[in-house]
Structures are given as C-alpha cells and as structure tokens.
Structure 1
Amino acid sequence: MAKPSGEATATRVDRLPRRPARRRPVALLALVVLLFLLVAVVDRGGAAVAQHELAVEIRKQGFPSEPEVAIKGIPFLTQVLSRDFRDVRLEADNIIEGPVRITSLKVRARNVRVDSGFQRGVLGSVDGTAFIAFGDLAKAGGDPGLELTAGAGNRIEAKVDLGITTATATASVTKEGDAIRVRALSVEGLPLDDLDGALDFTVPVKGLPLGLAFRSLTVSSGGVSLHVTGRNVPFG
C-alpha cells in the first residue's frame, strides 16, 4: 500500500544529514582572539603612557631633554599594578657635563619602582654606556681641530698640526679617577718633545645624569665608550 505523500516527505526530511555544529566553536575562537588583541592594545597603550610619565620625571635627574624610555616585558599591566618594572631602557643624546659633551647615553635599569602617581621612584640598578665621539673629546681637551681615530687596544691615532708640518702621533687613553687621560706615546719621524703637549690632556667626567658612576673605558670606532653604573638611584 502506498504511503501518504505527507509521511513520505517527513521520512525524506528525517533522513537528510545534519550539518555539524561548528559555528559555536568558531565564534568562541574569534571572541578569544578579539579579547587577546584588545588586551594587547590596552597593554601597549598603557606602556606608552607610563613611558612618557617616567621620561618626564627622569629628565629632572640631569638630562637636557626627556630621554627615550622603553618599558620591556609582557604583560605590562601586571607590572603597573605592582608599580615594579623589571626592565627599562633609557637613551639620551647631547648631554653637556662640565667640559665634555656626552654624545649618547644608553643604559638599562632593572627593578624600577614607582609611587602610585608616577611622581617619584627608584631605579634598582643601572648599567650602560656613555659614548663620547672623538670630536667632542678633542674639544674637551682644548684642541677642536685635532683629528682622532681609533688605534690598537685603548690607543688613538692623531693628526697633530705642528705649524710647519702635520705629525701622526699615537696616544694612550686611560681612566684616572673620574677623568679621561690622553697621553702621547710616540710620533712618527719626530721626537716626542716636538708635540709640546699637544696630545696630552685630562678630561674630567663628573655629574653624569642619574648620578651614574664612570667605571671603565674602551676606545671604539668613532670615540670612547665609558661603562657607567648606578644603584638605588632616586628620581622625581
């Protein structure tokens, strides 16, 4: 006996394969990704604000302008809630300290603690490099026309104008107390006395930003790099 058409239709519909319920997991994954991106944007936005606030306060510690401040570490929000930043990088250029100009200063500060308003804080430990270009070193030594280049070891080569001729001299660069000591060692084809002190000078390095201490130096391409450190440095 033939089945009623209505029953046959219902049977065919019941037999149609059901689509897997995939939309819900996909939507959930999209929501998770969206929330992650939102948190990342808020995290980096908060870091930018905090970096600016730190730069404003740290500038008061001997910088001619606001230094570049970069707060490292993810997530940032947990650091700001604890007001303790594990790794902060500072960079600044053209810092005048006494007779010498610090061409660039790059330091890394660890365990930076701040108050709730970012008005005051302490840099737990600071380590970095203050770079003095050869041109700035020559000016500080009283002879801006002196042409200096890096030599072997902690030595420099210099073109010295002696009036009737130009001599090539070699000089040592050492740390003496809180100063850079440049002392002539030899001159090509001439007695050392002929330099008449033209390549013999001392440049004091005091009053660095953040009260940083000058620990050692190395002659590098283009200038002299000073290793500087600090501990429990207050700011604000």
Structure 2
Amino acid sequence: MVLVIVILVLAGIAVAGDRVAAAYAERRIASEVQKEGFGARPAVKIYGFPFLTQVLDRHFPHARLTARNVREGPLTISRIVGDAHDVRVDSGFRSGTIGAVDGTATVSFGALTKAAGQSDLSLTAAGPDTVKANVDLGVGTATATATVTKVGNGIRVHAVSVEGFPLSDLGDDLDFTVPVTGLPMGLRFKSLKVSSTGIALRITGSHLKFSG
C-alpha cells in the first residue's frame, strides 16, 4: 500500500511538472506570436504528452492558436482559430518557426458591412455562398439575395435578385468588395463559405517565422 501511495504521489508530481512546462511554453510562444500582427496575446494550446520532453526539445508537433477581435485594415476579424504543426523555438523562446498552419478566420456580417461602409445593410446566411440582405432604399426596405465569393484577396458581395424593386435600384449598396490583406504572421486567405455567424475564411500558411 505504501508503495502504491508513493507511486501515485510521484506520478502526480510528474503530471504537475509536465503541466507547468506546457503552460510556460504556451505563454512564451503566445507572447512572441502576438508581435506578428495580433492586437492582443492569442491563446496557444500545445497538444501531445509528455509536454516536458517537447519543451526540452523546443519542438511542438501540434498546437492550436486562438485569437479574437483581430484588426485587419478596415475589417475586424471576430475569431481566428488555426492548427499549427511543427512549431520550433530557440533556447530562449524568443523566436521560432511554424511549419504549417491551417485554420479559419470568422468575419461577422456586421463587421463586413461596416468595413464596406454600408451602414444601412443587414445580412443573414442563405446558403454556403449566398446571403439575404435587407436594404434601406429610402422609399422602403428591399429584401435581396446576393452571392459571396472570393475575388483576389477580397470578399465580394454581389446582388443577384431583389423582391419588389428593380435590381438597378440597389445601386452599389449590395455590390462591393472588402479586401483581406495583411493577415497576422503572413497567413493567406484561400477560400470562404457563409455560415450562420458570418463569413468563414479558410486561412493557411507555411514556413512562418515569429521573433521578438
């Protein structure tokens, strides 16, 4: 019984030490990554066990990065979640590289219309690449349907139909492009789809560097 208790105590100490090592690595990596275009320190979660060996090797095969309210020009990205693979850091945890990142950046409908300067426009999801829009035309409110596509490095919203009014009455209210450039860490916007909460952008990157 004494031997069992000793083993359990030692195991507990080992797990606690492992968790301390992981927390240290997560904080240090997050602090340095923040300097690569994030307004606030992102959350970093390191996966795998044991953590201590990863910290000693300064090599983390899989981590997850989460950031909120990231400003990108006129656009505010409400949430970025990215899976980072092959993360390596120097001995002081002051710089490093990420082999690859694959994730999602979510832009709310409100943030999209605000960035486009369309204050009288309200959007809701209507399909994987389609939105419904309520447009204030002054003489009344029109309900329109628009497609949402990736054009270059931008989010293109383009009206295709409207109820009760000629399509031409919409003018540019539902025909605009919001650029998405200068994402943190040099991440790139690859594709998009419409979700219930906004526009989900697939973002990727490879051989990314971070340095304090």
Question: In which range does the TM-score fall when normalised by the shorter chain?
Answer: over 0.9
Query: Cα RMSD (Å) of the superposition?
Result: 0.8
Matched, 1:228 2:203: yes
Structure number with greater Rg is 1
Separation in structure 1 between the aligned mates of residue 128 and residue 59 of structure 2, nearest angstrom: 40
What is the total number of aligned residue pairs between the two structures? 211
Residues 31-42 of structure 1: pairs in structure 2 closer than 5 A: 31-42=6-17
Q: TM-score, normalised by structure 2?
A: 0.98
Partner in structure 2 of residue 154 of structure 1: 129
SS at match of 1:61: coil
Structure 1: give runs of 5+ residues left out of the alignment: 1-25
Matched, 1:106 2:106: no
4+ runs of 1 displaced by more than 2 Å? none
Q: TM-score, normalised by structure 1?
A: 0.88
Separation in structure 2 between the aligned mates of residue 32 and residue 110 of structure 1, nearest angstrom: 34
Separation in structure 1 between the aligned mates of residue 176 and residue 152 of structure 2, nearest angstrom: 14
Give the partner amino acid of 2:103. G
Separation in structure 1 between the aligned mates of residue 69 and residue 128 of structure 2, nearest angstrom: 26
SS at match of 2:15: helix
Deviation by residue 1:128-187 (Cα, 9 ceiling, x = unmatched): 000000000010111123110000231000000000100000000000111000000000
Give the partner amino acid of 1:171. A
Structure 2: give runs of 5+ residues left out of the alignment: none
Give the partner amino acid of 1:59. Q
Residues 61-100 of structure 1: pairs in structure 2 closer than 5 A: 61-100=36-75
Q: Choose the corresponding residue for 1:49, options 5, 14, 24.
A: 24
Higher helix share: 1
Higher strand share: 2
SS at match of 2:20: helix
Residues 124-203 of structure 1: pairs in structure 2 closer than 5 A: 124-203=99-178
Deviation for aligned residue 1:196:
1.4
Separation in structure 2 between the aligned mates of residue 224 and residue 152 of structure 1, nearest angstrom: 11
